Amino acid sequence: MFEDKNHRTELNSLGEFGLIRHLQGLIENKNPSTVKGIGDDAAVIDRSDHYEVLTNDLLIEGVHFDLSYTPLKHLGYKAAMVNISDVFAMNAHPSQITVGLAVSNRFSLEAIEELYGGILLACERFGVDLVGGDTSSTPSGMVISISAIGRVEKDKVVYRSTAQVHDLICVSGNLGAAYIGLQILNREKQIFLENPSVQPDLEGSDYVIERQLKPEARGDIIQALHSADILPTSMIDISDGLASELLHLCAASDKGCRIYEDKIPIDPLTVLKCEDFNINPTISALSGGEDYELLFTISQSDFEKAKAIPSISIIGHITEASAGSALIDKSDHETPIRAQGWDSMKDN
Ligand code: ADP
Ligand code: MG
């Protein structure tokens, strides 16, 4: 990569995932304990009698969050939850996090205490310890980088890459709400900027706004699957939208899929609020992102057991790769699934 000094490749020609794939090509793991490196929700490390999983997420003010409508306590909670969600996506249990924080002098001690209040609340939810981090200053704004580790029995780890043809595709909870919550917050911010005397109109939108500001990692689903004696055949968490994550899972497993529009779980309030913005709720679910639900596949023999778990929806099945990935819409038309989720390096 250092040979042709005159050649310049623009990052937006690769996009975020293209860049990660490129970096992956430059890296060769040397330690036998590195079971899984780049390419899943978390890395997997062999600790003799169990596996440890390790993941990191970066949140940048102005890119991932807007402090004009995000309370610092919520921001801290979300920053920890998105990491914990990646640990659950490996079927592991989170145990420790570290917190890297860069702030400008725009923030007070009380503000940082609020942020940590949120981080610690998320930790408490799942019995996680905050064991370290790093602190630095920035010329402006705030950057939060959290790493999480977790633990899983060796025969229980679940990757993105192991879905099998005919497996059933499942999602937890409902999708698309966090995106529409963000649209409402952005709309009210614009109205406020134009006329600061107008009070924000958030009436009746609590649920979707909460989904945006206070996501909950689905440790309860991991527990419910375990209790029902179901080991998913593959799994990923939904941070960038169902479409993008399905394509990641299918690409990693070298498979295709069929999902059914009428099976995608969408909360009635999401449907209602989508109307205000003229957004098709299915598009919000497919491309909105930030739901932090789990997308996983199960073997057909686990169908009855999965059906008995509330808040799990079966939305389709895995096919051979040659069949591609498609959505069957409500009028029975098949459309290829495309990722229009969050890609921070492409012009969205
Ligand atoms: P997620 O949405 O689950 O957090 P990402 O899409 O951020 O996953 O990352 C996909 C994979 O790429 C993960 O295995 C992650 O560890 C790896 N990855 C992301 N950014 C980098 C980077 N800058 N260097 C090395 N690996 C990276
Ligand atoms: Mg993930």
Residue 332: predicted pLDDT: 95
CB 259 within 8 A of CB 253: no
Mutate to test the pocket of ligand 1, among 20, 78, 85 (most ligand atoms within 8 A of CB): 20
Q: Please give the Cα distance from 264 to 242 (Å, whole number).
A: 9
Residue 348: predicted pLDDT: 45
Residue 200, pLDDT > 60, answer yes
Strands of 43-141, DSSP E: 43-46, 51-60, 93-103, 129-137
CB 146 within 8 A of CB 79: yes
Which ligand minimizes its atom distance to the CA of 252? 1
CB 212 within 8 A of CB 178: yes
Q: List 317's β-bridge partners, or say none.
A: 168, 258
Lookup: tokens for 46: 């062999």
- Structure confidence by residue, pLDDT tens digits, 23-45: 999 999 999 999 999 999 999 99
Centre of ligand 1 from the C-alpha of residue 121, in Å? 25
Rg of the chain, C-alpha, whole Å: 20
Centre of ligand 2 from the C-alpha of residue 300, in Å? 24
Q: Please give the Cα distance from 15 to 204 (Å, whole number).
A: 37
Atom of ligand 1 nearest to the CA of 55: 16
Quickly name the fold that domain 40-152 has: 60s Ribosomal Protein L30; Chain: A; (3.30.1330)
Q: Whose CA is nearest to atom 8 of ligand 1?
A: 41
Lookup: tokens for 265: 């779980």
Strands of 118-272, DSSP E: 129-137, 142-152, 168-172, 234-238, 255-260
Residue 203: predicted pLDDT: 81
Please state, in angstroms and as integers, the Cα–Cα distance from residue 269 to each residue in 69, 218, 288, following that order. Answer: 21, 21, 15
Q: Percent of the chain at pLDDT above 90?
A: 87
Mutate to test the pocket of ligand 1, among 11, 29, 34, 38 (most ligand atoms within 8 A of CB): 38
**DSSP-based three-state secondary structure for 253:** helix
Average pLDDT of the chain is 94
Name the pairing type of β-strands 255-260 and 325-328: parallel
Which ligand minimizes its atom distance to the CA of 26? 1
CB 102 within 8 A of CB 137: yes
Q: Whose CA is nearest to atom 10 of ligand 1?
A: 39
Give ranges for CATH 3.90.650.10 in the chain. Answer: 160-336
- Structure confidence by residue, pLDDT tens digits, 77-128: 999 999 999 999 999 999 999 999 999 999 999 999 999 999 999 999 999 9
Q: Please give the Cα distance from 257 to 326 (Å, whole number).
A: 6
Atom of ligand 1 nearest to the CA of 17: 6
Centre of ligand 2 from the C-alpha of residue 6, in Å? 36
Predicted confidence band of residue 196 (pLDDT cuts 50, 70, 90)? confident
Centre of ligand 2 from the C-alpha of residue 271, in Å? 25
Predicted confidence band of residue 341 (pLDDT cuts 50, 70, 90)? low
Quickly name the fold that domain 160-336 has: Phosphoribosyl-aminoimidazole Synthetase; Chain A, domain 2 (3.90.650)
User: Residue 182, exposed/middle/buried by CB under 10 A (0-12, 13-18, 19+)?
Assistant: buried
Q: What is the DSSP string of 179-218?
A: HHHHHHHHHHHHHHHH-TTSPP--TT-HHHHHHHHS----
Residue 192, pLDDT > 70, answer yes
Q: What order do you get walking across the sheet with 142-152 strand by strand?
A: 34-36, 43-46, 51-60, 142-152, 93-103, 129-137
Centre of ligand 1 from the C-alpha of residue 257, in Å? 23
* Ligand 1 pocket by Cβ (under 6 Å): 20, 23, 38-41, 57, 86, 239
Q: Please give the Cα distance from 171 to 235 (Å, whole number).
A: 10
- The one-letter amino acid at 183: Q
Which ligand minimizes its atom distance to the CA of 56? 1
| Run of H or E including 327 | strand 325-328
Lookup: tokens for 233: 């055949």
Centre of ligand 1 from the C-alpha of residue 125, in Å? 25
- The one-letter amino acid at 69: Y
CB 337 within 8 A of CB 243: yes
Sequence-ordered list of residues with C-beta below 8 angstroms from that of 124, at least 6 positions apart, any chain: none
Higher pLDDT, 167 or 69: 167
CB 242 within 8 A of CB 285: yes
Q: Whose CA is nearest to atom 7 of ligand 1?
A: 57
Lookup: tokens for 171: 């999602």
From the list 177, 137, 157, the residue with the least C-alpha distance to 272 is 177
Q: Whose CA is nearest to atom 21 of ligand 1?
A: 20
Give ranges for CATH 3.30.1330.10 in the chain. Answer: 40-152
Atom of ligand 1 nearest to the CA of 82: 4
Centre of ligand 1 from the C-alpha of residue 252, in Å? 14
